[in-house]
Amino acid sequence: MDINNSIAAAGKKLTFSEVVEYNEKYYFNLFARAPICFERGEGTVLYGMDGKRYLDFLGGLAVNALGHNNPAITGAIKSQAEKFIHCTNLYYIEPQARLAKTLVDISCADRVFICNSGAEANEAAIKLAKIFHYKAGRHAKNKIVTATDSFHGRTLAMVAATGQVKYQKPYAPLLPGFSHVPLNDVGALRSAVSEEETCAIMLEVIQGESGVNIAEPAFIEAAAELCEKTGALLIFDEVQTGLGRTGKLFGYQHYGVEPDIFTLAKALGAGFPIGAMLAKERVAAAFEPGDHGSTFGGNPLACEVGNASLGLILGEKLHERAAEKGAMLMGALRAAAGDSADGIVSEVRGRGLMIAAQFKKPVAVEVKGRMQDAGCLVGSVGDSIMRMLPPLTVSDDEIKEAAVIFGAAVKAL
Ligand SMILES: *Cc1c(COP(=O)(O)O)cnc(C)c1O
């Protein structure tokens, strides 16, 4: 194509059917997309190019914790962009220093490293765990234990960490050293961990991607005890559970257990890409100049958005709000499901605003589709789990509306 035509075409807004056509033709075929293209959002609501209104109870997969077009986030982006947006980590970065202090003040960690995504934060966590033992001369302590059905991201190391064969098979040989035990199987965990070889145990306290599977206190306590006994490090992947989603600021606070290392991402930028790896000083001290790094990670723009997002979560106590609204939403979903003719919903489970409905039959995709048609976006996991991750700012009326739409979708089966 002629370059001048290309330049002119690149600036011209597409129609919905052109978006679909271009996507099919030019974009990698990696996503099973719903036939919707959004144009803008406001709080919990998204509007399609055709003007149709949707309640966003998927929340960008737990990313849009503060809703869409939140003035605090938009304001932080604008004001920082007008100063400067990038600065190499070879210089001090004021918004980064401020973000690090706040994260340390509110958590069990002593130090912070900022990166660009959840997978990157988990990579940093594994590298830190390895170098911690390496620098102490424990070179054989390089094995990581994670859970079956976990999800830790899409990089090659995180594919090995993730306990799901479907994400691993095509990418063999995987990075060695990862083994998996079923969530809540204390016996299997005990057999998998050894003093000679285990570098770390890495867990989600609630598995999100595989359908809101909650770790039992006994399992988390056993992991902490094993780490204490063998010198392995306890890593929590709080990419999804972190910063209020579960009704507490951090998922580990439900258990009275403090990890040596934990990671954050999704809610931290409220939609802007940012990740964080945090650790206790004893462990964090293993990282010295040159051991790890990032070109974009910790840039002034991302950090200023992180500061704004944290400011709002802490200022408005959105974690407490998530606990309250989550209880309300789960109650409303149970009531709506209870009315369904054959009781097809076997369970509504979750913590805070991280919620799943389990069906007795493979109807999740159909329920999701019906709810979408009725103007409410939710997720499905496999064929029999529906997932809801609304913004922590969701209103009572929006909760009631979503529950009515869910009830109607279930009844229409
Ligand atoms: C989403 C998610 C990730 C991956 O985050 P990316 O930003 O997509 O790399 C990792 N761990 C958990 C628990 C997640 O939910």
pLDDT in tens, 263-304: 999 999 999 999 999 999 999 999 999 999 999 999 999 999
- Ligand 1 atom closest to the CA of 263, numbered from 1: 11
Strand partners, 240: none
Q: Given this model, what pLDDT does residue 3 score?
A: 82
| CA of 5 relative to ligand 1 center, distance in Å | 39
Mean pLDDT of 37-63: 98
Mean pLDDT confidence for 111-124: 98
More confident residue, 282 or 2: 282
| 3-state secondary structure (DSSP) of residue 189 | helix
Q: Give yes or no for a contact between 159 and 126, defined as CB atoms under 8 angstroms apart.
A: no
**In ligand 1, which atom is closest to the CA atom of 237?**
13
Bridge partners (DSSP) listed for residue 354: 351
Length of the chain: 413
**Segments of 273-394 assigned E as strands:** 275-279, 345-351, 354-359, 376-377, 379-381, 385-388
Is the CB of 119 inside a 6 Å radius of any atom of ligand 1?
yes
List, in sequence order, the alpha helices (H) in 343-395.
Answer: 364-373
406 within ligand 1 shell (Cβ under 6 A): no
Is the Cβ atom of 239 under 6 angstroms away from ligand 1?
A: yes
Q: Cβ(124)–Cβ(292) under 8 Å? A: yes
Q: 284 CB under 6 A from ligand 1?
A: no
- Distances, alpha carbon 371 to alpha carbons 7, 137, 282, 388, in Å: 40, 56, 49, 12
Distance 341 CA to ligand 1 centre (A): 37
Which pairing describes strands 379-381 and 354-359: parallel, antiparallel, or unpaired? unpaired
* CA 277 to ligand 1 center in whole angstroms: 13
Note the pTM of the prediction, 2 decimals. 0.97
Instruction: Please provide the distance, in angstroms rounded to a whole number, between the alpha carbons at the two ends of the chain.
Output: 49
Cβ of 235 closer than 6 Å to ligand 1, yes or no, is no
Helix, strand, coil share (%) of the chain residues, nearest 5: 40, 20, 40
* pLDDT-based confidence at residue 339 (cuts at 50, 70, 90): low
pLDDT tens, position by position, 87-112: 999 999 999 999 999 999 999 999 99
CB 332 within 8 A of CB 353: no
Question: Ligand 1 in contact with 117 (CB < 6 A)?
Answer: yes
Residue 208 Cβ contacting ligand 1 at under 6 Å: yes
- Residue 123: CB within 6 Å of ligand 1? no
Determine the distance separating the centroid of ligand 1 and the alpha carbon of 275, expressed in angstroms: 9
CA-closest residue to ligand 1 atom 10 = 152
User: Looking at this protein, which amino acid is placed at residue 35?
Assistant: P
Distance from Cα 239 to the centre of ligand 1, integer Å = 6
